[in-house]
Structure 1
């Protein structure tokens, strides 16, 4: 048995060596090698000749070259200088070179440039912060992203669905917040063998289209409300808002609100009772986060805010 594993490992190393590049696991590098998947992602992005495309994680440039043939400009963000050199080599001496701009570094730490479309096969460990970052920048038309399949399924899950739950607190909150700020559609599933080296998980491609104009709410308020609700997603809201830490935080915010607006707080005021009153009036005491849709959350947020209770 050990001999079989050794032979398999040897074949993998020979294949990688033939490409001249050893892929870095720390960067989550899995190069998309299937040209049909690449073509499908590009077609689903609805490119126009006048577009500027942001590509995150271009790798060896399999997708980049196709993008360059169809648009005005491609801005490629790559953290690995070896792959940057490979990408530069592919366009050197061609008509595509003037259309390519390469930003070297961690995309999460840089200011995103202006772009119309984002197309990316991104490292899965940065999926959540990257989607969050994309949704909080100037308007763009859409993003077509390769994601871990389970993460993608949670982004598109609707209230009441089995997968409308937490992969982690941040992922589920991101799923709700993403659907608030954008329309999210599952485009296709992509098997492990479409990558080199194959990842341990299945993949999927989603299309994220920002809502324009964005909903008329303060995002920090929305984020604060959903964070409390999804901490106990299977509990009723009446139960979730009885937590001592939640009551204390909202009471602090309420006192700041009253101070700023010269409102007097009665001597017999109790924050716990105030919260219960708001939830009851909003007919939300028995509701659970896992079954609430966006309109439910916005109605509840308005009920709290109209009573001077804020989440940020």
Structure 2
């Protein structure tokens, strides 16, 4: 097989790196780990001894078919802990994974860089059982996912990730541990799920977030005018939410955005 750029395939081949990832993931023996894009199986082999089971979601049919054989050859005593699901992680449902066994409690993965944020957000939304995890992504994406209000890279991914979990940067990964070697730097992001803001619809909050950052240089009164219907209505909603109309989206926490969405609800 040959790695394809279309699927974002850059495989980790260094044993020390996969051991470090597993150690940093803080897994318990009872955890059921969801691994997205297992590729050649290097991380899979490191995960199997550290948890109850691994559910590997692989979109590439050649790799999906080969992974059980790889584990059978290299870790035969742990082969019964592995379930491979041939699917697109961007679209996989809780029902599809329910067939594979107990609901996943942790996400540990070397994610395809071109879809890393959408995959994480989709899985956190689709699988409430995911309590924690550690993902490897492009370094710039890691910065955005873990950024807080006021940070220059704080934006839509930061706020939407914060809706589901507390995100933090958990280290860097050198380019040399991948095949093929990528032309970007990599980093680890750890997360721990937390309760979402109460009494407000996630879709409504995310609509406010999208509007606020679509014109991030503008004040919220101007940036939310289209979303609210007019600048005056945006100002009214912001006042009801206790958010200054002159603030900008990059200054607000996910709780602030939730209050805005709530104030706009009839």
TM class, shorter-length: 0.7 to 0.9
Query: Which of 204, 224, 227 is the matching residue for 1:246?
Result: 227
| Aligned pairs (5 A) from 1:56-75 | 56-75=36-55
The higher radius of gyration belongs to 1
Residue 85 of structure 2 is aligned to residue 103 of structure 1: yes
Counterpart pick for 1:231 among 214, 221, 227? 214
Change (3 A) 1:42 1:302: same
**2 CA distance for matches of 1:147 and 1:50?**
26
1:82 counterpart = 2:62: yes
1:40-51 correspondence runs (5 A):
40-51=20-31
Deviations 1:170-196 (A, max 9, x none): xx3232111122100100111211101
Deviation at 1:293, TM superposition (A): 2.3
- Structure 1 residues 180 and 197, CA, compared in 2 at 3 Å: closer, same or farther? same
Note if contact 1:68-1:99 (Cα within 8 Å) is conserved in structure 2: yes
Cα deviation 1:64-103 (Å, max 9, x = unaligned) = 1121122221111112232234322222262122111111
Are positions 1:300 and 2:256 aligned together?
no
Once the two structures are superposed, the pairs formed by residues 248-287 of structure 1 within 5 Å of their partners are 248=229, 273-280=232-239, 282-287=242-247
Question: Is residue 2:118 matched to residue 1:129?
Answer: yes
Cα distance change on mapping 1:229 and 1:100 into 2, 3 Å: same
Q: Residues 104 and 301 of structure 1: is their aligned pair in 2 closer, same or farther, counting only changes over 3 Å?
A: closer
- For these two proteins, the number of residue pairs brought into alignment is 254
Unpaired segments of 5 or more residues in structure 1?
1-20, 165-171, 249-270
Task: Output the TM-score relative to the length of structure 2.
Answer: 0.88
Deviation at 1:155, TM superposition (A): 0.9
Q: Which runs of 5+ in 2 are unaligned?
A: 98-102
TM-score when scaled to structure 1?
0.75
Instruction: Please name the residue that 2:130 is paired with.
Output: 140
Cα RMSD (Å) of the superposition? 1.9
Residues 1:287 and 1:29: Cα distance change in structure 2 (over 3 Å)? same
Match of 2:100 in 1: none
Q: Return the offset for 1:59.
A: 1.2
Task: Report how far residue 247 of structure 1 moved.
Answer: 4.6
What is the CA distance between 1:144 and its match in structure 2? 0.8
Cα distance, 1:227 vs structure 2: 1.6
> Is residue 32 of structure 1 aligned with residue 21 of structure 2?
no
CA distance in structure 1 between the aligned counterparts of 2:50 and 2:250, rounded to whole angstroms: 42
- Quick one: structure 1 residues 273 and 62, their matched pair in 2 at CA, closer, same or farther if it must change by over 3 Å? closer
Q: 1:34 to 1:237 in 2, by over 3 A?
A: same
